[in-house]
Amino acid sequence: MIRLQGVSKRYLRKKALMDVDLQLPTGKIIGVIGENGSGKSTMLKLISGLVRPSSGTVTVDGEKVDRRTARKVSYLSELDTYYPFFTVQETIDYYASQFADFDGETSKEILSFMGVDPAQKVKHLSKGYRSRVKILLVLSRKVPYILMDEPLSGLDPMVRDSIIKGLISFVDLEKQTVVLTTHEVNEMEPLLDMIVAVRDGEVIKVADVEELRRTENKSIAEWMNDVYAGNTCRSLPS
């Protein structure tokens, strides 16, 4: 279980998160949704141990988060963090050498599914294909927690639907939990079990998606527009 207790994060004079209390259950696909600069990416970095909270505590399975949390967490950054002079296969091999939990067979399956040429150099890939490689690397690790910061960023709208459907086949929700940030609310909705609405560094609402559909008969986008309108009289872009 992931838990944030009284968590704030400040970068110089800017507050990225403010007094967040949040508990994320296991075995779910959880969407953290909000506008640019709302604190979504910071939340994932705190959970992964890449940054430390200015105050409060972040724990994963009861253990305080630090750099060793990487053994339990596979993190996809919105930024490109791989060596551009490597081929795709060399990138996969390097990643496998860094993480004992990296599953070579799974990486081959995802490579085939993603349609990426393993001999191609990373620097020659389009942004969309680099995004596919990042997804491949993150999902090939057999860890309890998968964190994905804007996993659809850079992907052609024509292939997003097939990749979204493929994502779920490579995640074992009996053993894994996925937390992702996204602006693509409508496209990601079929995957999500739970949503966390964030604005200006604050968690303003949390909802179970199935409960939302049953009790309010609303899509996530409709619900988010209501939530944001209620907080600031502005709607969330879809």
Q: What is the pLDDT of residue 233?
A: 42
User: Which strand ranges, in their side-by-side order, compose the sheet holding 2-11?
Assistant: 14-24, 2-11, 55-60, 63-64
Which DSSP helix (H) or strand (E) runs through 74? strand 73-76
pLDDT given at position 202: 93
Taking only the tens place, the pLDDT of each residue in 22-65 is 999 999 999 999 888 889 999 999 999 999 999 999 999 999 99
What pTM value is reported for the model? 0.89
Q: What pLDDT is stored for residue 157 in this prediction?
A: 77
Q: Supply the pLDDT for residue 76.
A: 92
Cβ burial of 73 (10 Å; 0-12, 13-18, 19+) is: buried
Domain borders along the chain are 2-80+144-232
Residue 85 has pLDDT above 60, yes or no: yes
Say if strands 177-181 and 73-76 run parallel, antiparallel, or are unpaired.
unpaired
What's the pLDDT tens digit per position in 128-166?
899 899 999 999 999 999 999 998 887 887 788 888 877
Contact predicate 116/127, CB 8 Å: no
Contact 154, 128 (CB under 8 A): yes
To the question of domain 2-80+144-232 being in CATH 3.40.50.300, the answer is yes
| Predicted local confidence at residue 100, as pLDDT | 93
